[in-house]
Amino acid sequence: MLDLLLEHRIVAILRGIEDKHADAAGKALLDGGIRLMEITMNTKGAAAMIERWRSRFDGQAAIGAGTVLDVAMAREAAAAGAQFMISPNLDEEVIAFGRERGISVWPGVMTPTEIVRAWKAGAEAVKLFPMASLGLNYLSEIRAPLDSIPILATGGVDLDNIAAYFKAGANAVGMGSKLLNMEWVREGRFDLITERARRFAETVRGL
């Protein structure tokens, strides 16, 4: 999973999507070149969607679980077939759970201390969050001494600044509404979602 993350460098975050729209939205992202997609565990029916996507998009995209706050959620995500787990928080028990089962866990961190704690606990990458509030200068500052730990920067990414995220030291970015416009989903405008995904994927490939 880490190799996929470092190669494709975008994780699509689907939060609150209705089950009836999920498959078409996932296909639209896939058609646009997105290869890592997470459904957050606080989305109604998340486990069922993850399980279905593992079959539907097998060999085409890696499917993960987001907002995995504790081991109970991790257990549910693993049972559904999640290939990676992402959290907004650092829970070493979740990291240990994933390691025991061969599932990548990318925990949420903010401070240098949390980043190193996650790394020592066995996380192969960390999610720096909330980037929209922390800002790119923060990422750049902590990247200097912590240059060997892969960072997934999440929050505030759009087409205008995505290059700046990577210049500041991000190895990958997590994207929600700026990538998957839920109004387009509800309107069935999946062509627009594919086109937006393609623009992001092409921009990242060109960096």
Tell me the catalytic residues: 38, 127
Listed residue (82, 22, 35) closest to 197, CA to CA: 35
Give the list of residues 6+ apart from residue 197 with CB closer than 8 angstroms, or none.
Answer: 12, 28, 29, 31, 32, 33, 34, 179
Output the DSSP codes for 62-87.
EEEEE---SHHHHHHHHHHT-SEEE-
Cis bond before residue 145 (omega within 30° of 0): no
Contact in structure between 113 and 79 (CB atoms under 8 Å): no
Listed residue (13, 118, 128) closest to 67, CA to CA: 13
First to last CA, the chain: 21
- The burial class, CB within 10 Å (0-12 / 13-18 / 19+), for 5 is buried
